[in-house]
């Protein structure tokens, strides 16, 4: 297949797993012989030269500072999620030049999403989207009804007419609830995957009689770093010892180092900063359990599963997206999202009440069998293949194609910010 | 303009949607633009039997609340405005996406407005043939200076004057079709005994120039001004200028009363101006002059100002005169009062002229032929592009 991938970010500039995942999938598709062209935005983070299949021709309005630019929040939202004329022009040129069999959308926030989707629909270009976050909720709630109607954005049967893939049912439910709409067809759930170099190896838990917990990801409130500190404080206050917590990742580390000091838990709670993927995988093999008391709206983080692939038992929020793949006490430990519940689970692990070995083996088997990258790519490939249909690039070359896009962009602005003429 | 070998297949059905930001009714707007939509739909209906292809049509308009009705057999659907903004011409309904998908050709009325922008983008997105008519109401820069009018496949102007205002912004097929007029409603009286009295019909607004008729009115020549007073200050000014003259204001005439007024008059005057009594300039004082055609349909000779499209209606000096200013109008009115003009032999000419050129069946056929021509060209253009694409794509 000729696949045009569109993503707001692409390495080396990334915010989270969404765009890293995009890059993984692009490479996997290319390894399978697909002709892939990636359209994304410039990266200011130094890195190796982009390969030929990466074209940084789009304009990004999100995730960048707006210093010196006088712009209202509403105007910014409009550009991010409703319409960015420059990006429509870029898309038109890409489609004319590459003539893809299918367009594969990823995180679209910041690109003027609704207009891009409308443009694909108007010209009959088949498309699919990988929902790793609330892209559709953002575009639905980013403008009033009469503004979205310029792009037929009031009609889910239209703006969600592509092949929809979502990382969890939890995310789908959240988008429908917050966006107040129902997907015209149930999205295909494509739970994440764990890239696991090498086979699963036997491992030892509670080495030296100590339990080693770890956490990896953004060091922040919403990922549960505060809860981890509070839980550790509770355990130490109760006299529970024989454990340590290693936290890996970037974020608000200065605050949490101070917070740990204030709670007098620095001796057993350490912040190590970010690690490369290979180094992180080494840590999965020497830690007993993976703490993931993330917020309930977590769509589907990959780290708990990567840890589980090595038998590092996930302890995670019971109603987050990741929980869909975890059977409690079989593949991991599900908890309510509070410090007391997390502390209780950690205590049971430290006391040996929870059989880490049994759960770790089951979790590793589940991830390696069900959540492999190859299996994941199979699912995406199937959805994109099903989307394929003949489409004619002729309408893209029509002299009025960009005129229509121009009119829609400025009419949407007039409808939103005041028609004066 | 006629059907050509490139015309739309005669065996097919052409589904036509008329779309307008308002409709002709007391609770919407009573103006020429709104009446025009109703007239065109009915003209097409009357012309349909003589066409070499079938048509179906519906009217969609914007209003305060959802409702529907039949206008002379043509279904009219009114959608409530979904734009909370205050701009009167930035009305819209998202439901138009679905309903317009069912038609082949969209005729956009009062097209040079934000509503026109909205409909043009829908029509182009849905791949429909789009024909635009300017009936006033706006001069949207997106459509004019920024080229949005190019989204249309054809323009139908209601006068050469109207065409001249937009021809710089539209290079595609552009037809001028004046009319139509309902010659079954606007009929001549049974007995053509035209009294020496003058009538003018239209909203009592400064650009309609009723003050000019009053100023030109000779003594002892009665004048009836029929129309609603939308501008209190101007209405008062008219009364002041009418002092000592035989001027009657009729501000609440319904259709029957209006026809009686036409029948009781001997001359119709249309005095619209591009510089009003206050010195203000008006860019589009008359795009067509429908009331002049209606007056002629009742058999009245007419005197029209040399303003905008009005002279286009007055080719035959036997029953039409054109005046450039008040002095010239005074001379015409004096001729009329003295019985010098028009000649008695010309009595039945005005109506015959209108019936032959501007009646529903005649104008309906012209418009339908233009529709078919433009639709055929668009389809051919799409097929050519498809063909080129199929043969170029690797």
- From chain A, the residues in CB contact with B389 under 8 A are 392-394, 397
* Residue A193: band (very low, low, confident or very high) from pLDDT cuts 50, 70, 90: very high
Mean pLDDT, rounded, for A406-418:
94
Q: Beta-carbon neighbour count of residue B280 at 10 Å?
A: 11
Q: Which residue of A has its CA nearest to B386?
A: A394
Same domain, B149 and B243: no
Q: Which residue of B has its CA nearest to A153?
A: B94
Same domain, B118 and B246: no
Closest to B389 (Cβ–Cβ): which among A144, A393, A408? A393
Closest to A421 (Cβ–Cβ): which among B118, B141, B147? B141
- From chain A, the residues in CB contact with B388 under 8 A are 394, 397
Inform me whether the C-beta atom of residue A403 falls under 8 Å from chain B C-beta atoms: yes
Interface of A with B in 101-120 (CB under 8 A): 118
Average of per-residue pLDDT values in chain A: 93
Q: Which residue of A has its CA nearest to B88?
A: A419
Supply φ then ψ for residue B15, to 5 degrees: -95, 120
Q: Which of B318, B277, B286, B290 is nearest to B305 (CA)?
A: B286
- From chain B, the residues in CB contact with A392 under 8 A are 385-386, 389-390
Q: Specify the DSSP element, H or E, that contains A35.
A: strand A35-39
Mean pLDDT, rounded, for A172-180:
93
- From chain B, the residues in CB contact with A400 under 8 A are 124, 150-151
Cβ <8 Å between A411 and B84: no
Q: What is the pLDDT of residues B125-180, one digit of tens each?
A: 999 999 999 998 889 999 999 999 999 999 999 999 999 999 999 999 999 999 99
Same domain, B202 and B88: no
Q: Does the pLDDT value for residue B27 go beyond 70?
A: no
Q: What is the pLDDT of residue B100?
A: 98
How many domains does one find in chain B? 2
Inform me whether the C-beta atom of residue A374 falls under 8 Å from chain B C-beta atoms: no
CATH number at residue B171: 3.40.50.2000
Q: Does the pLDDT value for residue B26 go beyond 70?
A: no
Mean pLDDT, rounded, for B9-14:
74
Residues A215-246: b if buried by 16+ CB within 10 A, e if exposed = bbbbbbeebbbbbbbbbbbbbbeeebeebbbb
Closest to A404 (Cβ–Cβ): which among B82, B121, B389? B121
Q: What is the pLDDT of residue B88?
A: 82
Q: Which residue of A has its CA nearest to B87?
A: A419
Mean pLDDT, rounded, for B331-349:
92
The 8-class DSSP code of residue B49 comes to G
Q: Does the pLDDT value for residue B35 go beyond 90?
A: no
Q: What is the pLDDT of residues B271-327, one digit of tens each?
A: 999 999 999 998 888 899 999 999 999 999 999 999 999 999 988 999 999 999 999
Residue B303 covered by a domain? yes
Q: What is the pLDDT of residues B202-253, one digit of tens each?
A: 999 999 999 999 999 999 999 999 999 999 999 999 999 999 999 999 999 9
Sheet-wide strand order for A269-273: A269-273, A243-248, A211-216, A289-292, A313-317, A333-335
Same domain, B379 and B364: yes
- Top-confidence residue, A264 or B343: A264
Fold entry, domain A207-371: Rossmann fold (3.40.50)
Q: Where in chain A is the domain with CATH 3.40.50.2000?
A: 207-371
**DSSP states of A217-230:** S-BSTTTTHHHHHH
Domain range for residue B230? 198-354
**DSSP states of B176-239:** E----B-TTTS---SS----S-EEEES---GGG-HHHHHHHPPTT--EEEES----HHHHHHHH
Q: Does the pLDDT value for residue B32 go beyond 80?
A: no
Q: Specify the DSSP element, H or E, that contains A248.
A: strand A243-248
Cβ <8 Å between A419 and B114: yes
**Beta carbons of B302 and B269 less than 8 angstroms apart:** yes
Cβ <8 Å between A146 and B385: no
Inform me whether the C-beta atom of residue A415 falls under 8 Å from chain B C-beta atoms: yes
Cβ <8 Å between B146 and A410: yes
Distance of residue A415 Cα from the nearest chain B Cα, in angstroms: 7
Does the bond joining A98 to the residue before it have cis omega, within 30 degrees of 0?
no
Q: What is the pLDDT of residue B394?
A: 43
Same domain, B282 and B338: yes
Q: Which of A242, A90, A224, A78 is nearest to A147 (CA)?
A: A78
Cβ <8 Å between A421 and B385: no
Cβ <8 Å between A421 and B147: no
**Beta carbons of A219 and A247 less than 8 angstroms apart:** yes
Inform me whether the C-beta atom of residue A152 falls under 8 Å from chain B C-beta atoms: yes
Rounded Cα–Cα distance for residues A119 and A421 (Å): 26
Which residues 6+ apart lie within 8 Å of A45 measured at CB? A12, A13
Residue B142 covered by a domain? yes
Inform me whether the C-beta atom of residue A406 falls under 8 Å from chain B C-beta atoms: yes
Same domain, B363 and B350: no
Beta-ladder partners of A313: A289
Cβ <8 Å between A149 and B150: no
Cβ <8 Å between B87 and A150: no
CB neighbour class for A300 (10 Å; exposed up to 12, middle 13-18, buried from 19): buried
Same domain, B280 and B260: yes
Of the residues B118, B393, B394, the best mutation for testing chain A's interface (the one with the most A CB atoms within 10 Å of its CB) is: B118
Inform me whether the C-beta atom of residue A99 falls under 8 Å from chain B C-beta atoms: yes
Same domain, B166 and B295: no
- From chain B, the residues in CB contact with A415 under 8 A are 83, 85, 90, 92, 114
C-alpha pair distances (Å), A383 with each of A2, A126, A165, B136, B164: 14, 11, 8, 50, 54
Cβ <8 Å between B87 and A395: no
Q: Does the pLDDT value for residue A338 go beyond 50?
A: yes
Same domain, B27 and B161: yes
Rounded Cα–Cα distance for residues A167 and A134 (Å): 11
Q: Which of A4, A5, A23, A28 is nearest to A13 (CA)?
A: A23
Q: Beta-carbon neighbour count of residue A383 at 10 Å?
A: 20
DSSP-based three-state secondary structure for B15: strand
Mean pLDDT, rounded, for A220-233:
97
Interface of A with B in 129-148 (CB under 8 A): 144-146
**DSSP states of A338-355:** SHHHHHHHHHHHHHT-S-
Chain B positions contacting chain A at CB under 8 Å are 82-85, 87, 89-90, 92-94, 97-98, 114, 117-118, 120-121, 124-125, 138-142, 146-148, 150-151, 382, 385-386, 388-390, 393-394
Q: What is the pLDDT of residues A280-300, one digit of tens each?
A: 999 999 999 999 999 998 999
- Show the tokens assigned to A313: 């038992």
Q: Does the pLDDT value for residue B1 go beyond 50?
A: no
- From chain A, the residues in CB contact with B139 under 8 A are 421
**DSSP states of B238-307:** HHHHHTTS-EEEE----HHHHHHHHHT-SEEEE---SB-TTS-B-S-S-SS-HHHHHHHHTT--EEEESS
**Beta carbons of A128 and A165 less than 8 angstroms apart:** yes
Cβ <8 Å between A403 and B83: no
Distance of residue A26 Cα from the nearest chain B Cα, in angstroms: 23
Average of per-residue pLDDT values in chain B: 92
Which residues 6+ apart lie within 8 Å of A101 measured at CB? A1, A2, A3, A126, A388
Lowest-confidence region among A31-40, A69-78, A327-336: A69-78
- From chain B, the residues in CB contact with A407 under 8 A are 117, 120-121, 142, 146, 148, 151
- From chain B, the residues in CB contact with A158 under 8 A are 97
Q: Which of A307, A282, A303, A285 is nearest to A294 (CA)?
A: A303
Residue B190 covered by a domain? no
- From chain A, the residues in CB contact with B112 under 8 A are none
Q: Beta-carbon neighbour count of residue B332 at 10 Å?
A: 20
**Beta carbons of A352 and A334 less than 8 angstroms apart:** no
Rounded Cα–Cα distance for residues A219 and A349 (Å): 23
C-alpha pair distances (Å), B204 with each of B233, B250, B284, B289, B358: 11, 10, 16, 15, 26
Closest to B147 (Cβ–Cβ): which among A403, A414, A420? A403
**N-term to C-term CA, chain B:** 41
Q: What is the pLDDT of residues B114-123, one digit of tens each?
A: 999 999 999 9
Cβ <8 Å between B94 and A145: yes
Q: Which residue of A has its CA nearest to B384?
A: A394
Q: Does the pLDDT value for residue A146 go beyond 90?
A: yes
* Residue A135: band (very low, low, confident or very high) from pLDDT cuts 50, 70, 90: confident
- From chain B, the residues in CB contact with A390 under 8 A are none
Residue B191 covered by a domain? no
Check the CA dihedral A109-A396-A414-B104 and report its sign: negative
Closest to A408 (Cβ–Cβ): which among B85, B121, B385? B121
Cβ <8 Å between B385 and A418: no
Angle between helices A17-31 and A373-387 (to 10 degrees): 80
Beta-ladder partners of B199: B224, B268
Same domain, B79 and B152: yes
Inform me whether the C-beta atom of residue A421 falls under 8 Å from chain B C-beta atoms: yes
Q: What is the pLDDT of residue B381?
A: 83
Supply φ then ψ for residue B286, to 5 degrees: -150, 110
Cβ <8 Å between A394 and B388: yes
C-alpha pair distances (Å), B376 with each of A399, B101, B130, B153, B170: 19, 18, 12, 10, 19
- Top-confidence residue, B203 or B192: B203
Q: Where in chain A is the domain with CATH 3.40.50.11930?
A: 2-192+375-417
HSE value, Cβ hemisphere, 13 Å, CA-based, for B149: 27
Q: Which of B324, B209, B371 is nearest to B276 (CA)?
A: B209
Same domain, B58 and B153: yes
Same domain, B111 and B255: no
CATH architecture of A2-192+375-417: 3-Layer(aba) Sandwich (3.40)
Closest to A419 (Cβ–Cβ): which among B87, B98, B390? B87
Q: Specify the DSSP element, H or E, that contains A138.
A: helix A135-141
* Residue A195: band (very low, low, confident or very high) from pLDDT cuts 50, 70, 90: confident
Distance of residue A154 Cα from the nearest chain B Cα, in angstroms: 7
Q: Which of B217, B325, B121 is nearest to A118 (CA)?
A: B121
Alpha helices in B52-179 (DSSP H): 96-100, 114-126, 160-166
Mean pLDDT, rounded, for A178-201:
89
Which residues 6+ apart lie within 8 Å of A207 measured at CB? A286
């Amino acid at each position: 297949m000729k696949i045009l991938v569109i993503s707001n970010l692409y390495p080396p500039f990334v915010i989270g797993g969404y765009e890293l995942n995009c890059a993984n999938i692009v490479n996997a598709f290319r390894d399978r012989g697909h002709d892939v062209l990636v359209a994304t935005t410039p990266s200011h983070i130094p890195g190796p030269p982009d390969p030929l299949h990466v074209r940084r021709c789009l304009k990004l309005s999100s995730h960048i500072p707006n210093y010196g630019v006088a712009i209202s929040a509403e105007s910014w939202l409009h550009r991010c999620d409703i319409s960015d004329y420059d990006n429509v022009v870029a898309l038109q040129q890409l489609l004319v030049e590459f003539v893809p069999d299918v367009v594969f959308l990823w995180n679209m926030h910041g690109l003027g999403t609704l207009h891009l989707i409308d443009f694909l629909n108007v010209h009959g270009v088949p498309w699919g989207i990988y929902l790793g976050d609330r892209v559709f909720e953002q575009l639905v709630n980013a403008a009033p009804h009469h503004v979205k109607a310029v792009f037929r954005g009031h009609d889910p049967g239209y703006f969600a007419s592509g092949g929809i893939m979502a990382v969890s049912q939890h995310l789908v439910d959240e988008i429908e609830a917050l966006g107040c709409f129902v997907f015209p067809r149930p999205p295909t759930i494509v739970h994440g995957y764990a890239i696991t170099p090498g086979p699963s190896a036997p491992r030892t838990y509670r080495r030296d009689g100590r339990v080693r917990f770890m956490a990896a990801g953004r060091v922040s409130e919403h990922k549960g770093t505060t809860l981890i500190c509070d839980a550790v404080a509770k355990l130490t206050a109760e006299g529970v010892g024989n454990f340590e917590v290693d936290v890996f990742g970037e974020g608000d580390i200065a605050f949490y180092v101070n917070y740990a000091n204030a709670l007098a838990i620095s001796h057993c709670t350490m912040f190590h900063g970010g690690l490369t993927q290979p180094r992180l995988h080494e840590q999965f093999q020497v830690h007993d359990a993976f703490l993931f008391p993330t917020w309930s709206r977590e769509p589907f983080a990959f780290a708990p599963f990567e840890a589980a692939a090595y038998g590092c038992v996930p302890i995670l929020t019971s109603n987050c997206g990741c929980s869909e793949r975890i059977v409690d006490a079989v593949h991991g430990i599900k908890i309510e999202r509070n410090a007391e519940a997390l502390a209780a689970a950690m205590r049971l692990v430290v006391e040996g009440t929870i059989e880490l070995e049994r759960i770790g083996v089951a979790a590793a088997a589940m991830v390696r069998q069900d959540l492999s990258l190859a299996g994941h790519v199979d699912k995406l490939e199937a959805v994109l293949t099903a989307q394929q249909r003949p489409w004619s690039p002729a309408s893209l070359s029509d002299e009025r194609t960009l005129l229509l896009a121009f009119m829609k962009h400025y009419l949407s602005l007039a409808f939103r910010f005041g028609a004066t003429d | 303009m006629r059907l050509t070998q490139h015309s739309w297949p005669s065996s097919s059905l052409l589904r036509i949607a008329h779309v307008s930001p308002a409709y002709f009714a007391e609770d919407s707007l009573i103006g020429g633009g709104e009446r025009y939509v109703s007239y065109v739909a009915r003209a097409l209906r009357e012309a349909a039997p003589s066409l070499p292809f079938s048509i179906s049509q519906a009217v969609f308009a914007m209003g305060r609340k959802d409702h529907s009705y039949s206008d002379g057999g043509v279904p009219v659907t009114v959608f409530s405005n979904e734009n909370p903004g205050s701009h009167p011409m930035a009305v819209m309904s998202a439901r138009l996406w679905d309903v317009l998908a069912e038609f082949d050709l969209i005729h956009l009325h009062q097209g040079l407005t934000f509503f026109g922008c909205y409909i043009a983008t829908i029509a182009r997105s849905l791949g429909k043939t789009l024909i635009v008519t300017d009936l006033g109401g706006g001069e949207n820069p997106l459509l004019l200076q920024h080229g949005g009018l190019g989204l249309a496949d054809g323009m139908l102007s209601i006068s050469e004057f109207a065409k001249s205002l937009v021809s710089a912004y539209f290079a595609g097929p552009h037809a001028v079709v004046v009319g139509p007029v309902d010659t079954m409603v606007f009929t001549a009286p049974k007995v053509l005994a035209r009294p020496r009295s003058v009538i003018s019909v239209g909203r009592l607004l400064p650009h309609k120039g009723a003050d000019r008729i009053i100023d030109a009115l000779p003594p002892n020549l009665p004048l009836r001004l029929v129309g609603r007073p939308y501008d209190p200050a101007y209405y008062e000014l008219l009364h002041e200028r009418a002092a000592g003259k035989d001027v009657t204001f009729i501000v609440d005439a319904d259709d029957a009363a209006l026809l009686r007024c036409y029948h009781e008059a001997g001359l119709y005057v249309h005095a619209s101006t591009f510089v009003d009594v206050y010195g203000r300039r008006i860019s589009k004082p008359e795009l067509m002059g429908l009331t002049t055609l209606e007056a002629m349909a009742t058999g009245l000779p007419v005197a029209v100002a040399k303003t905008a499209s009005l002279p286009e209606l007055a080719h035959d000096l036997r029953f039409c005169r054109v005046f450039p200013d008040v002095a010239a109008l005074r001379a015409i009115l004096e001729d009329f009062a003295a019985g010098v003009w028009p000649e008695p032999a010309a009595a039945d000419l005005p109506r015959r002229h209108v019936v032959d050129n501007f009646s529903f069946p005649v104008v309906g056929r012209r418009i339908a032929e233009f529709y078919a021509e433009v639709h055929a060209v668009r389809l051919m253009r799409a097929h050519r592009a498809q063909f080129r694409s199929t043969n170029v794509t690797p």
